[in-house]
Amino acid sequence: MKNVLVITASIFGQDGQSSQLVEHTLQQLKQTHGEIRTTHRDLAQEPVPHLDASRFGAFLTGQDDRSDNQQRVVNYSDSLINELNQADVVVMGVPMYNFGIPSVLKAYFDHIARAGVTFRYTENGPVGLLEDRPVYILAARGGIYAGTPNDSQTPYLRSFLGFLGLKDLHFVYAEGLNMGDDQKKTALNQASRAIETLTA
């Protein structure tokens, strides 16, 4: 049985287009792999705290020197990382807000990027410590950005996830969703077909 970590970040919850593409991906994975076990982290519903000096300080403090509050911060981060480590597949819904990823997703990333835990620095540069696995990224956008300089999401996600060791990335784009009903319908149909091909 495949363990699937589902990460969504739409402010519209399950009604968001990225969340609906995530659901379609899960249905296709079930058809391919049979029964799957899912862990769902809805970052809009239960946001990860944004990184501040106090939380970052907790990550830098040695275990024997941490206060109780610092240990709670580290335990929370560890729980997010353990959740990721246990997943065979990651499915991520990523809407575009103001040319970037949702701030709640950035906060999540800030809590799973831990020196010595998910990456380490070497004399040859940084090395990701997470075991690679398929990551499906369902990107929903109001305009058309893929392949243009205004697509800040794709290179950032490739860089960040690759930094941690996750390089088997599969992007599906649903674009122009605010550019009329015909464009929206076409984009969603194309995205659905792409999902079916990728997960077959």
As a residue count, the chain comes to: 200
Is the model's pLDDT at 108 over the cut of 90?
yes
Structural domain range at position 124: 2-199
Q: What is the C-alpha to C-alpha distance for residues 73 and 57, in angstroms, rounded to an integer?
A: 10
168 phi and psi angles, rounded to 5 deg: -85, 70
Average pLDDT, stretch 169-189?
A: 97
pLDDT at 72: 97
Is the model's pLDDT at 54 over the cut of 90?
yes
pLDDT at 156: 98
Q: What is the C-alpha to C-alpha distance for residues 134 and 166, in angstroms, rounded to an integer?
A: 8
Average pLDDT, stretch 86-101?
A: 97
Residue 8 bridge partners (DSSP): 42
Q: What is the C-alpha to C-alpha distance for residues 185 and 174, in angstroms, rounded to an integer?
A: 10
Q: What is the C-alpha to C-alpha distance for residues 140 and 188, in angstroms, rounded to an integer?
A: 9
Q: 185 pLDDT band (50/70/90 cuts)?
A: very high
Residue 7 bridge partners (DSSP): 41, 92
Average pLDDT, stretch 36-63?
A: 96
List residues forming the annotated binding site for FMN. Answer: 10, 96-99
Q: 36 pLDDT band (50/70/90 cuts)?
A: very high
**Coil vs helix vs strand at 162:** helix
Q: What is the DSSP letter of 13?
A: G
123-141 per-position pLDDT tens digit: 999 999 999 999 999 999 9
List residues forming the annotated binding site. Answer: 10, 96-99
Residue 49: both structure tokens together = 């705290």
pTM, full prediction: 0.95
Average pLDDT, stretch 22-41?
A: 95
Task: Confirm if 58 and 70 have CB atoms less than 8 A apart.
Answer: yes
Average pLDDT, stretch 183-189?
A: 96
pLDDT at 172: 98
Q: What is the number of structural domains in the chain?
A: 1
Rounded to the nearest integer, the mean pLDDT of the chain is 96
Q: 103 pLDDT band (50/70/90 cuts)?
A: very high
* Residue type at position 195: I
The label of the residue with tokens 């799973």 reads 112
Give the sign of the dihedral formed by CA 186, CA 159, CA 167, CA 31. Answer: negative
For residue 62, the domain's CATH number is 3.40.50.360
